[in-house]
Structure 1
Amino acid sequence: MAKKESASSMSGVKVRKSTGYKIFIVANTLIMLGVVFFTLYPFIYLVAQSFSSERAIYAGEVSFYPVEFTTKTYEVILSKPDFFIYYKNTIVYAVLGTLISLFGSAILAYPLSKQRLVLNKFFTPFVVFTMFFAGGMIPSYVLIAQALHMRDTLWAIIIPGAISTYNVLIMKSFFAGLPGELEEAASIDGMNAYGIFAKIIIPLSKPVLASMFLFYIVGIWNNWWGPFLYLDTKSKWPVALYLRQIIMGATGTQEIGVASEEASQIAANVRSCCMVLTAAPIICVYPFVQKYFVQGMMIGSVKG
């Protein structure tokens, strides 16, 4: 009976939180709410401004919600048939480029994570070297446009930045943290190195692959500099370059189908509309990879 009473008393005991701990919880909550606010506010402001009237924007009345709601700028931009061609181009570049980048980064990071391989310590410094030193814009342009003849092709957008050294190092750390016993067991069963990589390593690497997927697809989706340099045909532009040209005034309001009386409204919030149209698809993708993204980044940063 005494044992039962002691057990029940132990199970019913509530740990008393000290005053210092309560203060820490309150302060930590306030700080995190502040971080969330300052992180989300710029985007909330852009969305609100993109749906606000010209008068409200110039009067500084827009903050958290649209003032004098209007969708005129969105209607003008989305009414152009070419806009969806640019979006289609962006999707093709982003999907194909991300797959190539993931494949290239994985097959480079995996052997670098194996210390037993010959010349591992010889090649790793060369990979890290590329993170800090590059040939520069002019040599890169000559290489892509003249030596490789990729100018005005999608490969000029995808190939030059296909592999990020930073992402390779993260994947290398993740691969190095996987149990070596799994590979040894598979090798004893007769599986070769390619089978081990495809059937064991890749399925176990979903967190880091999801993280790299997000990094690569965001980079390609927002890339306008590469297309600006290498694409001559306007029908091959990605949407980021098209919206950038609108923002910078390279395409006039008459060219995008704006009547003279609507030009001032377009000029007032075209930047906000373009940023929302560019960021919205990536924001929609992020919730699906958030779990793997956090897990992959934590493992990749701790182990290695």
Structure 2
Amino acid sequence: MTTPPQLMATCWTTAGTAMPGPGTGRSPLRLKDRIAAAAAGGWRGFGVVHSDLAAYLERGTLTELRGILADHGITQLELELIEDWWTEDERRPESDRIRRELLTAAEALGAQTIKIGPETSSRAVDPDRFAASFDALATEAAEHGTRVAFEFLPFASYGDSLKAGIDLVTQVANPAGGLCVDIWHVARPGTDYTMIAESLPSEYLFSVELNDAAAAPIGTLFEDTVQRRLLPGTGSFDVPAFINAVRAAGFTGMWGVEMLSDRHRSLPLERGLAEAREATLACFAEANRRLTASA
């Protein structure tokens, strides 16, 4: 446990003033500069959202981007986000376009994971169709040499909890379909961390994301998650306990850090990355201390 963890700067952690939401998702910073800053700061994983990938490809190529990642020692890449992948209405054509582009990019870039989202509108979802669509998407991802990680969200209308995510991936049981487990989405609704080790088979735990938050939400849950996240270990979540619960589940992969806050977006890129890394490593040190004390 003394080996320093390998950390991934997920897409929003290096996105500058960009944030999730209509008209706000494209970073003003050059992707090449973001990759260089992350690598220089000791990060070995990197995340890219579809809008930024599309912006890069207006002038660059996937081959060039793969070279940039390799030149900077980035060993793990995560792409996001495919939404509405189970739908049959007017949302599906756009979802399919993003799906094709991200799967193509994943194959060319060697991306290990593509994140996919739940239903966040109030529209009804057919559970059987949702599960079958997840299975089909995971199978298609495997054909491109990657896999999909379902990210449950506590403000979703379908797929809103860790239990819902576990039920989905274990029911479908596709080796290329697993979960992205973000501490915010577990801790904010008050889910017991022990559920991770007790109910989520390690083979379906694809990615993990760390951050923190105040004791109570500020504004809506969506506003709280995109505007008010805190550095790991500086809020109300017991991040070291979460780390150890994830370890107990058998997770041995790279740890993502997803910083989404007005404060983080106001910082110079290098400073924001340094603060996030320092805070995260402090949480791992405390997690290790607790393991040693309990041995």
Larger % of strand: which? Answer: 2
Alignment TM-score, normalising by the size of structure 2? 0.24
Higher RCO, 1 vs 2 (CA within 8 Å, ≥6 residues apart): 1
Larger Rg, first or second structure (1 or 2): 1
Larger % of helix: which? Answer: 1
